[in-house]
Structure 1
Amino acid sequence: MVEKVGAISANRLDLRIDTGKSRDEIAELAATFNQMLGRLESSFEAQKQFVSNISHELRTPLAAIIAELEISAFKGRTVDEYRETIRLILQDAQRLSRLSNDLLDLAKASYDQSSIHFRPVRPDEVLLDARQSILRMNAVYGVDIRFEAEAEDGEGIVVRGNEYLLKVAFMNLMENACKFSDDHRCMVTIRSGDRKTVLRFADDGIGIPEADVDYVFTPFFRGQNKRHAPGNGIGLSLTQKIVALHQGKIVVESRAGEGTTFTVELPQG
């Protein structure tokens, strides 16, 4: 057993210890060690896949920026052509900036819960702040917020959470709805009751194909709808992680061609 353990390394996490046929403490220890190796192997594979996805997301805009600059440097262009080159480079730079911010938020949301500062937060106020930020980022977007009767007085609507992370989650859901709707609008409803706050983010957009619904929260997943709007596949996975940090849950309902609704439940406290 000691010899086999000595052969295990980061490159050989597939090795396992022979537990034998006995049922004594040594066999139990070997089985527990094998279970730990299985978790480590899964974690390493997930990390490798994560790094591979990030590399791919970074490579595309960087290659486009380099190509545009190289052509501009070695070939004379008109003023209008230079303006178009600058516009394309700015577009790719903004994509890189968004990816960088999303990765930082994902890292922040991946911390141990004890490392994140939680305090009493009014989700309705965070919603309004998120709406203002979304409209400032894109003037053609529209976000309608409706407070149902239970939430109007504000009593009991307080949740224990991190205001910054909740704002990130709400902005992701609003932006997602606006991106995939022809009218670029998101309808948000909020209600409070049964010791929880429920928020619904709905749109009348293109919907999510049935084959993609089960994967919308998978990091870097971009389904059939990717041709309709740019993105990096981090937003919804980050949102799910933030909701989970707040001991809440998020579900999605969608029909292709009819629209999508994301429902977030947050416990009050």
Structure 2
Amino acid sequence: MKIRTRLTLLFTLITAMLLGIYSFSIYYSSKEAREKSFYSELQNEAIAKADLFFRSSLPEQEMHKLYKNNTRTLNEVQVAIYDINKQLIYHDDAKVDYVKETPQMLSQIFQKKRITFFLNNLQVIGMVYHYEGKSYAVTAAAYDQYGYEYLTHLLTISIISFFSILILIYLAGIFLSKKALSPLSEMVIQIKKITAGKLELRLKTTKEKDELNELAQNFNGMLERLENSFDSQKHFVSNISHELRTPLSAIITELELASEKDKSKEEYQETIQYALEDARNMVKLSNSLMDLAKASYDPNEISFSEIRLDEILLESYTKIIKENPGYKVSLNIEDSLEEHQLIIQGNEYLLQVAFNNLIDNACKYSPEHTCSIDVRTHSEVLKIRFTNMGNSIPQDNLSHIFKPFYRSETSRQEKGHGIGLFLTEKIILLHHAKITVISDHHETIFTVEFVIS
């Protein structure tokens, strides 16, 4: 069921409930008012008949004749009068006695002074009437024909109005829901035109501050992120293909040359060494890509725990020295640092990958293959500086240094794939930290800043 139809039906149902409650309240109030009003009329009629009987000189036969004449044109009130001994002293029509008063009923009237009740369709009132120091029980009964006709008419009008208004409300609901959701229908038409090849398309937005315009703006923002992601993915895949093609082509070329003619043992060993070196480069590249994939996970899916940064730095220091005996790395930690200042919430594996890249990068581009690591604190910020002496990075290249697969002219003389610093930045940002780089006067410094509590 469409939202428009569902909203219309829901709106109609709520209106029907409210209208039904309102109509029932009106009918019930009118019913109660009719009942009370007619009891009041019966009381007035009972008093008038009693006054006429006791205080006027009109004979009883004339009162009977008057009653019978009135019953021909309207529902006349039938009145009966009893004395204290429960003896009937007057009745409008004893032959057609509506109430048929019993001693128990008369006793109740004398005791309570006034009673009211229904007798089939008749309303009956019993009351005590006083005349010349004596008490009499007077009953009056009649059928409220006009009142019931009024209620029937009111009920008929209410039912007709109820269904008529519901039909009008339903039609109005269809019109209003169609008008209110027409922008949403236009959005659906526009969304159907957006495909993987047309991610540049956007939904139309207005200056209105309503929910639909907010939805369109957020949807456009999502499309913007998807388009950037697709473009990055295409660029990423293209660069990976290029990086993998180079060592594979070198391995194939070397093996083809080795298979074309007989060579000496030394020449075969040299060819194998070249192929192994290219294979190792491929392994490094694949490891970097795996680390990059892990760093690109949803942060909610990466496990974080309390870790000590000095221990991770020491592990990275040991690993780099072990794999590259020619590297010289020094680790200097400020003496005033307390243990809790070195503890953060993070992922040990990813941070070690980041530190390994920074240490390896510093040693690789230093003529003496040296890297100095300094750990200091300043204003609730833990700063880790990776410094190397050597050729400075041109200022034009510094703004691109963290881009994937980017390699400056000065770095092309060393082996690499342009993934390390891009991966490092992603890991640092994943830990809500910051990484910056300055390069001047033959000195390059990468600084990682962690906020400590």
Calculate the TM-score normalised by the size of structure 1: 0.92
Instruction: Output the CA distance in 2 between the equivalents of 1:181 and 1:84.
Output: 28
Moved more, 230-239 or 108-117: 108-117
| Whole-angstrom CA distance in 1 between matches of 2:264 and 2:319 | 36
1:262 to 2:409 alignment? no
CA contact (8 A) 1:197 1:267 kept: yes
Q: Structure 2 matches for 1:133-172, cutoff 5 A?
A: 133-151=319-337, 154-172=339-357
Q: Which residue does the alignment assign to 1:238?
A: 423
1:251 match: 436
By how many angstroms is 1:117 displaced? 1.5
Aligned residues of 1:212 and 1:224 also touching (Cα < 8 A):
no
Q: 183, 195, 212: which one pairs with 2:397? A: 212
Deviations 1:75-111 (A, max 9, x none): 2222222121111111111111011111111111111
Residue 82 (structure 1) aligned to one of 262, 268, 273: 268
Q: 1:227 aligns with which of 397, 405, 412?
A: 412
Question: Residue 184 of structure 1 is aligned with which of 356, 369, 376?
Answer: 369
Residue 37 of structure 1 and its aligned partner are, at CA, apart by 2.1
- The counterpart of 1:200, out of the listed 377, 385, 388, is 385
Q: Which deviates the most, 59-68 or 80-89? A: 80-89
CA contact (8 A) 2:436 2:448 kept: yes
Task: Kindly indicate which of the two structures has a greater share of residues assigned to helix.
Answer: 2
Partner of 1:182, secondary structure, is coil
Which residue in the other structure is 2:200 paired with? 14
CA distance in 1, matches of 2:225, 2:431: 25
Separation in 2 of the partners of 1:19 and 1:193?
Answer: 47
CA distance in 2, matches of 1:266, 1:21: 41
> Hey, what's the Cα distance between the residues in 2 that align with 1:261 and 1:51?
31
Q: Distance in 2 between matches of 1:56 and 1:21?
A: 46
Structure-1 separation of matches of 2:360 and 2:261: 39
- Indicate how the Cα distance of structure 1 residues 40 and 143 shifts in structure 2: closer, same or farther if over 3 A, else same: same
| CA distance 1:30–1:113, change in 2 (3 Å) | closer
Tell me if structure 2 keeps the 8 A contact 1:160–1:268.
no
Residue number in structure 2 paired with 1:53: 239
- What value does the CA root-mean-square deviation take over the aligned residues? 2.0
The answer to whether the Cα contact below 8 Å between 1:180 and 1:228 also exists between their aligned partners in 2 is: no
With normalisation by structure 2, the TM-score equals: 0.56
Deviation at residue 181 of structure 1 after TM alignment: 0.7
- Distance, in Å, in 2 between the alignment partners of 1:240 and 1:188 is 18
The answer as to whether partners of 1:142 and 1:178 remain within 8 angstroms in 2 is: yes
Does structure 2 conserve the Cα–Cα contact (< 8 Å) formed by 1:191 and 1:199?
Answer: yes
Mapped contact 1:150–1:193 kept (Cα < 8 A): no
Aligned length: 267
| Separation of aligned partners in 2, 1:58 and 1:9 | 31
After superposition, residues 14-53 of structure 1 pair within 5 angstroms as: 14-19=200-205, 26=212, 29-53=215-239
Q: Secondary structure at the match of 1:16?
A: coil
CA distance in 2, matches of 1:253, 1:183: 20
1:31-74 C-alpha deviation (Å, 9 max, x unpaired): 44333322221111111111111111111111111111111122
Rg larger in 1 or in 2? 2
Q: 1:98 aligns with which of 259, 284, 294?
A: 284
Q: Bigger CA drift: 226-235 or 32-41?
A: 32-41
Measure the CA separation in 2 of the matches of 1:108 and 1:121: 18
Range with greater deviation from structure 2 (3-12 or 258-267): 3-12
Report % sequence identity: 47
Instruction: Assess if the C-alpha contact under 8 Å between 1:178 and 1:203 holds in 2.
Output: yes
- CA deviation digits over 1:9-50, x for unaligned, max 9? 111212233447887665554444333322221111111111
More relative contact order, 1 or 2 (CA 8 Å, 6+ apart)? 1
* Letter of the structure 2 residue corresponding to residue 130 of structure 1: S
Distance 1:46 1:141 in 2: 35
Counterpart AA for 2:443: G
Consecutive unaligned residues in structure 1, runs of 5 or more: none
Q: Distance in 1 between matches of 2:290 and 2:314?
A: 23
Residue type of the alignment partner of 1:233: G
SS for the counterpart of 1:237 is helix
